[in-house]
Amino acid sequence: MLDLAMTPDTSPSIAPTREDLLRARDRLRVARTRASKRWVKLAWLLAGPGVLVMLGENDGPSMVSYATTGASYGVGFFAPFIVLTFVMAYVVQEMTVRLAMATHRGHAELIFQRLGPFWGYFAMADLVFGNLLTMVTEFIAIQAGGLYFGVPAAVSVGIGFIVVVASLALQRYALWERTLMTLAVFNLLFVPAALLSHPDGAALARALGTWRPLPEAMGAAFFTLILANVGATVTPWMIFFQQSSAVDKGLTRADLAQGRFDTAAGAILATIAAIATLVAAAPLFAAHVDVSQFASGADFASALKPLIGTTGATLFALGIIEAGLLAAMTISTSSSYALAEVFSTAHSLNLDFRSGKLFFGVAIGTAAIAGAIVLIPGAPLLALTLTVNVIATMLMAPALLLLLVLANDREIMGGLANGRLANVAGGTIVVLIAAIGAAYGVITAFPALIGK
């Protein structure tokens, strides 16, 4: 038998690719840091996918949903509800971390390999449809923030598109990740905006501690915001993005503790920013402002200006822009990973444009289509923004069921498979999401059952 190792000049090429070399270089830094027991630096090196997925989920429609909620119902019921939704998000995303480390496969690729083409295409349709709708709302957020500063819609959308393409042009996963993490910090702009609203700290603490008071009216509008807030924290794209980005980063079983920490840290930061948005918009509730007439997120900043000041309103508008930009970059990348995995083509942010034509083309194409839709005259932007989060919630139950099946596949997961507690938690989330969706459907079909 011919020994290929002894005939490198005539054998098939097995030379490592640029992608392999870059990932190996990153893993070498991790190995050296772990060997030196520099645990803080190790946590920093391995952070990224969890922080980005959680703060990326604090996207344009999410922040508008939180603002609408605060302006409509105050903080009493929804502040602890937001905490609950991010606990749910952590439970879901922790499973994706284990899947990535156990299989070194992206979520779309794994569904096709383990569950077959039918479920693979079903999951892809779920993801692509939801992602395209969500991408539209990200550009709505970018446009809305720009309008507050007097920037024409076409200019804001064009700049957003350029930023998405520029992030892909980095052609280095580690650099892309750190760039987005720097941008993600600005999600916390909602915190000083909330402080400028002079919130009642005792009332907020009481709400978080007792889940009181309950809203007096719990009709269709209330359940719409319930779904919108769930869709603001738990959506299908998160599963695909974090699993694929963890694989692209090269995380292994040895990194499990750091992967969980990364995800938990992201959830905590995102919860703080989400509740801050709720609090910042609460003065509109106290002033009895009818936000149902608002056309976009820019109207929230304008309406808040006399209540929390120019600085607070400016921070709010900048936060909306950041939310849209960060999510546009992460969500478009989740589509790229999934479609490239399905068609068995190269899928990594370490690729150059020639080697990753489909991977980069999907992200750029999605951003271009979404931006063009936003510029359609007369589009109901605020209604679309809230509706997308509702749709995301409705799409989450089947996506989560597929995740649970994979996380229980001991042949691929081994010791990282779900235990009883993880299954109970995951199953409870599925039931809750399905129940909320069913209640919303009944109320929408028969509004007389509960009133306005």
For the chain, residues with pLDDT lower than 50 are 1-12, 452
What is residue 11's predicted lDDT score, i.e. its pLDDT? 43
What is residue 15's predicted lDDT score, i.e. its pLDDT? 66
Which tens digits make up the pLDDT trace of 175-220?
A: 999 999 999 999 999 999 999 999 888 888 888 888 876 776 666 7
Task: Tell me if the bond preceding 213 is cis, omega within 30° of 0.
Answer: yes
> Which letter does DSSP use for residue 13 in this model?
P
Residue by residue, DSSP assigns 296-363 as SHHHHHHHHHHHHHHHHHHHHHHHHHHHHHHHHHHHHHHHHHHHHHHTT----TTS-TTTTHHHHHHH
What is residue 55's predicted lDDT score, i.e. its pLDDT? 92
What is residue 308's predicted lDDT score, i.e. its pLDDT? 93
Domains of the chain by range and CATH? 50-449 (1.20.1740.10)
Residue 115 burial (CB count, 10 A)? 16
**Integer Cα distance of 326 and 314 in angstroms:** 18
**pTM (2 d.p.):** 0.87
CA angle 351, 134, 127 (to 5 degrees): 65
What is residue 2's predicted lDDT score, i.e. its pLDDT? 32
Query: Residue 218: helix, strand or coil by DSSP?
Result: coil
Residue 349 burial (CB count, 10 A)? 27
Q: Which of 74, 127, 376 is nearest to 240 (CA)?
A: 127
What is residue 4's predicted lDDT score, i.e. its pLDDT? 35
Residue by residue, DSSP assigns 264-285 as HHHHHHHHHHHHHHHHHHHHHH
* Contact present, 111 and 406 (Cβ < 8 Å): yes
Residue 373 burial (CB count, 10 A)? 18
* Contact present, 60 and 138 (Cβ < 8 Å): yes
**Integer Cα distance of 48 and 65 in angstroms:** 25
